[in-house]
Amino acid sequence: MSVIKPLVPELFHSAFTSLEASLIKSGTPSDLEMRKQALAAFHEVGIPSSRLEEWKYTNLSRFSFDSFQLPPKNSTKKVHLELPLELIKADPAQCWHFYNGECLQRPTSDSFIIENSGALLAGYPNKRENVNRFQLLNQAFGHEGAHLVLPKGCHLEEPIYIVHLSHSTETPLMVHPKNTIIAKENSRATLIEIYLTLDGALTFSNATTHIQLEKGAHISHYFLQRSLTESVQISDITVQQAASSDYRGIAMLTGGGANRATFQVDLNGPEANCHFKTLELAEKQQKTDIFFTVSHHQPSTSSNILARSIVKDSARSAFTGKIIVKPGAIATQASLENKNLLLSPTAEAMTRPLLEIYADDIQCRHGATVGFLDEEALFYLKSRGIPDHEARQLLIESFISPCIQDIPGPLLSLVQEVIHGY
Partner 1 sequence: MAFSPASLLTIQNLHAGVDNTPILQGIELSIGYGQVHAIMGPNGSGKSTLANLLARKNGYEVYQGTITYLAEDLLSFSPEECAWKGIFLGFQYPVSIPGVSNIQFLKSAVNATRVAQGKPPLDAIDFLNMIKEKTAKLDMPSELLYRSLNDGFSGGEKKRNEILQMTLLEPKLAILDETDSGLDIDALKAVATGVNNFRNENRSIILITHYQRLLDYIEPDFIHVMVNGKIVKSGGKELASTLEEKGYAWL
Positions touching partner 1 (CB under 8 A) are 374-377, 379-388, 390-391, 394-395, 397-402, 405
Q: Which is nearer to partner 1, 62 or 389 (CB)?
A: 389
In the complex, what is the shortest distance from the CB of residue 407 to partner 1, in angstroms, rounded to a whole number?
13
Going by C-beta distance under 8 Å and a sequence separation of 6 or more, which residues neighbour residue 83? Answer: 196, 198
| DSSP reduced 3-state for 416 | helix
In the complex, what is the shortest distance from the CB of residue 341 to partner 1, in angstroms, rounded to a whole number?
13
Q: Classify residue 162 by burial, with Cβ atoms within 10 Å: 0-12, 13-18, 19+.
A: buried
Element (DSSP H or E) covering residue 399: helix 388-404
- Angstrom CA distances, 142 to 19, 60, 177, 178, 349, stand at 10, 20, 6, 6, 32
Neighbours of 326 (CB within 10 A): 18
In the complex, what is the shortest distance from the CB of residue 317 to partner 1, in angstroms, rounded to a whole number?
20
Going by C-beta distance under 8 Å and a sequence separation of 6 or more, which residues neighbour residue 383? Answer: none
DSSP code at position 401: H
* Distance, CA of 52 to chain centre: 20
Task: Specify the pairing of strand 246-254 against strand 258-267.
Answer: unpaired
Q: Which is nearer to partner 1, 211 or 341 (CB)?
A: 341
Within 241-287, residue ranges assigned H as helices are none
- CA atoms within a 13 Å half-sphere pointing along the CA-CB vector of 309: 31
In the complex, what is the shortest distance from the CB of residue 418 to partner 1, in angstroms, rounded to a whole number?
17
Q: Which is nearer to partner 1, 199 or 374 (CB)?
A: 374
In the complex, what is the shortest distance from the CB of residue 391 to partner 1, in angstroms, rounded to a whole number?
8
In the complex, what is the shortest distance from the CB of residue 273 to partner 1, in angstroms, rounded to a whole number?
24
| DSSP reduced 3-state for 388 | helix
Q: Which is nearer to partner 1, 5 or 384 (CB)?
A: 384
In the complex, what is the shortest distance from the CB of residue 385 to partner 1, in angstroms, rounded to a whole number?
4
Q: Which is nearer to partner 1, 104 or 386 (CB)?
A: 386
Asked if 101 and 144 count as a contact pair (C-beta separation under 8 A), the reply is: yes
Q: Which is nearer to partner 1, 113 or 378 (CB)?
A: 378
Q: Which is nearer to partner 1, 78 or 384 (CB)?
A: 384
In the complex, what is the shortest distance from the CB of residue 381 to partner 1, in angstroms, rounded to a whole number?
7
In the complex, what is the shortest distance from the CB of residue 378 to partner 1, in angstroms, rounded to a whole number?
9
Element (DSSP H or E) covering residue 21: helix 13-25
Q: Which is nearer to partner 1, 148 or 279 (CB)?
A: 279
CA distance 28 to 6: 28
Q: Which is nearer to partner 1, 32 or 394 (CB)?
A: 394
In the complex, what is the shortest distance from the CB of residue 252 to partner 1, in angstroms, rounded to a whole number?
16
Element (DSSP H or E) covering residue 38: helix 32-45
In the complex, what is the shortest distance from the CB of residue 405 to partner 1, in angstroms, rounded to a whole number?
8
Asked if 285 and 230 count as a contact pair (C-beta separation under 8 A), the reply is: yes
Asked if 213 and 182 count as a contact pair (C-beta separation under 8 A), the reply is: no
Q: Which is nearer to partner 1, 163 or 250 (CB)?
A: 250
Q: Which is nearer to partner 1, 363 or 405 (CB)?
A: 405
CA-nearest of 214, 211, 330, 309 to 264 is 211
Going by C-beta distance under 8 Å and a sequence separation of 6 or more, which residues neighbour residue 166? Answer: 99, 100, 101, 173, 175, 195, 196, 197, 198, 203, 205, 231
